[in-house]
Amino acid sequence: MLLPQPARDLAERVGTTPRTLRRDLDRLREFGYPVESTRGPGGSYRLVAGKAMPPLVLTDDEATAAVVGLRMAAPASEAADGALRKLERVLPPRLRRRVAVLSAVTHTVARQVPDLGVIGALAAAAHGRHDVRFTYRGRRGEVMERHVEPYRQVLLDRRWYLLAWDLGRADWRTFRVDRVASVAVAGSTFAPREPLPNTVVHRAEEGPRGVVRFDAPVAEVSPRLHAGSGVLEAVGEHSCRYTSPPEDWAWLAAVAAMVGVPYWVESPPELVAETERLAGRAARAAAPRSPV
Asked if residues 57 and 33 have their Cβ atoms less than 8 Å apart, the reply is: no
What pLDDT, on the 0 to 100 scale, is given for residue 199?
47
Question: Which range is least confidently modeled, 12-21, 159-168, 199-208?
Answer: 199-208
Average pLDDT, the chain: 80
Integer Cα distance of 100 and 104 in angstroms: 6
What pLDDT, on the 0 to 100 scale, is given for residue 262?
96
Greater confidence (155 vs 198) lies with 155
pLDDT band at 146 (very low <50, low <70, confident <90, very high): very high
What pLDDT, on the 0 to 100 scale, is given for residue 26?
81
Spatial CA neighbour of 215 closest among 192, 188, 234: 234
Give the residue-averaged pLDDT of 128-132: 94
Q: What Cα–Cα distance (Å) separates residue 142 from each residue in 136, 145, 227?
A: 8, 10, 27
204 has a pLDDT exceeding 60:
no
Question: Which range is least confidently modeled, 194-198, 247-251, 276-280?
Answer: 194-198
What pLDDT, on the 0 to 100 scale, is given for residue 149?
95
Q: Which residues pair with 225 in a beta bridge?
A: none
Structural domains of the chain in order of their starting residue, each with its CATH number: 5-47 (no CATH), 60-104 (no CATH), 116-203 (2.30.30), 210-286 (3.30.70)
- Each residue of 87-108: pLDDT tens digit? 877 777 877 787 777 766 665 5
Residue % of the chain over a pLDDT of 90: 29
pTM over the 0.85 mark: no
Which element (helix H / strand E) includes 273?
Answer: helix 269-286
Q: What angle do CA 128, 131, 133 make, to 5 degrees?
A: 130
- Each residue of 211-238: pLDDT tens digit? 999 999 999 999 888 766 678 889 988 9
pLDDT band at 1 (very low <50, low <70, confident <90, very high): very low
**Highest mean pLDDT: which of 101-110, 166-175, 195-204, 259-268?**
259-268
Q: What Cα–Cα distance (Å) separates residue 261 from each residue in 107, 212, 275, 280?
A: 21, 12, 15, 18
- Each residue of 47-60: pLDDT tens digit? 666 555 566 667 77
Which element (helix H / strand E) includes 117?
Answer: helix 116-128
Integer Cα distance of 11 and 20 in angstroms: 8
Integer Cα distance of 185 and 132 in angstroms: 4
Question: Residue 138: phi, psi to the nearest 5?
Answer: -75, 175
